[in-house]
Structure 1
Amino acid sequence: MAWWEWLLDICGALLLLCVLYGAGLIVRRRTLSRNGGTFELSHRLQTGAEGRGWVLGLGRYSGETLEWFRVFTLSPRPKRAWRRDELEYDGRREPVGTEQASLYPDHLVIRCQSPEGLVELAMSVSSLTGFQAWLEAMPPGTDWDRR
């Protein structure tokens, strides 16, 4: 085979891998969304640098936990999970500077406190309403004076 035929075969194989990866992402997202309760949710992994460290993702309510999945991975498992009784809503703000380019359009930055420290999430206004309702709808027997 000539060199250009090898090059064509390699390009075809790379194109096939890209198409399969894209199809895998679509199937994964549909599988995660199958039972409902999913929404666009970004999470700030690195809080040290101003405006940096944001990763796009999906959020899903699963009973007493909020699960966070990265967007561009094929893993079916959540990357992070927070229990409802361990999260405390601390306020919201508009994205500033480079955060505006890093996040989905029209998303707000949400600050929460957890036993591990500060948790910063970004979600739409309608998702924030659902998130606050989920936080407040604790099961019977919850110690409401804890906060």
Structure 2
Amino acid sequence: MPSVLVSTEIVIGTLLVVALVVLAATYLRRRYIAKGQPLTLCGFRTGGNGNGRWHLGLMRLADNALEWYTLGGVSLRPKRRWLRQSLLLDAPRLLPPEDALALLPDAFGVSCTDRLDSFELALQGPDYTAVRSWQEAAPPGYNVNVA
């Protein structure tokens, strides 16, 4: 009987250690991805036509590009990257209830194009405002004349 108790304790201890390692890795990945830049939860789907499945991820407004990272996983590189100069945002529209995301209540769908690529982002109201302001702002070093 004592050997069963010891085996159970080892299994439970191992599961706790694995859970702590996963939580620590997730936290450290998020901190590394942010790099001091604004980071927000965002939905993404390809095709901009309102069809397809939403994918949740993290969106970062970098200096010269909008970067989208998958929510899970261990990759430190963005899954998608769009340059500020070639990104066009359409007017936001409130997502209908059947298309809404559980983690993004009252999200807006924004159709976007990047050269020939069309896609859609799901953003909360303040996040959309931040992306729109970022996109319309003059990029550093591009014909900027500060007097």
- Taking structure 2 as the reference length, the TM-score comes to 0.77
Q: CA deviation at 1:87?
A: 1.0
Is there any run of 5+ residues in structure 2 with no aligned partner, and where? none
Q: CA deviation at 1:76?
A: 1.5
Give the number of equivalent residue pairs.
141
| Cα distance per residue 1:98-123 (max 9 Å; x no partner) | 43244412321111112242211111
Q: Which residue of 1 aligns with 2:129?
A: 129
2:41–2:58: 8 Å Cα contact kept in structure 1?
A: yes
Q: Which amino acid aligns with 1:13?
A: T
Go from structure 1 to structure 2 and tell me whether the alpha carbon gap of 1:107 and 1:97 turns closer, same or farther (over 3 Å shift). Answer: closer
Q: Which residue of 1 aligns with 2:118?
A: 118
Q: Percent identity?
A: 27
Q: Which residue of 1 aligns with 2:88?
A: 88
- For 2:47 and 2:10, the matched residues in 1 are separated by 41
Q: CA deviation at 1:13?
A: 2.2
Q: Which amino acid aligns with 2:25?
A: G
Q: CA deviation at 1:57?
A: 1.5
- Taking structure 1 as the reference length, the TM-score comes to 0.77
Go from structure 1 to structure 2 and tell me whether the alpha carbon gap of 1:85 and 1:71 turns closer, same or farther (over 3 Å shift). Answer: same
2:38–2:61: 8 Å Cα contact kept in structure 1?
A: yes
| Cα distance per residue 1:20-55 (max 9 Å; x no partner) | 1112111221233341322222211476884x4212
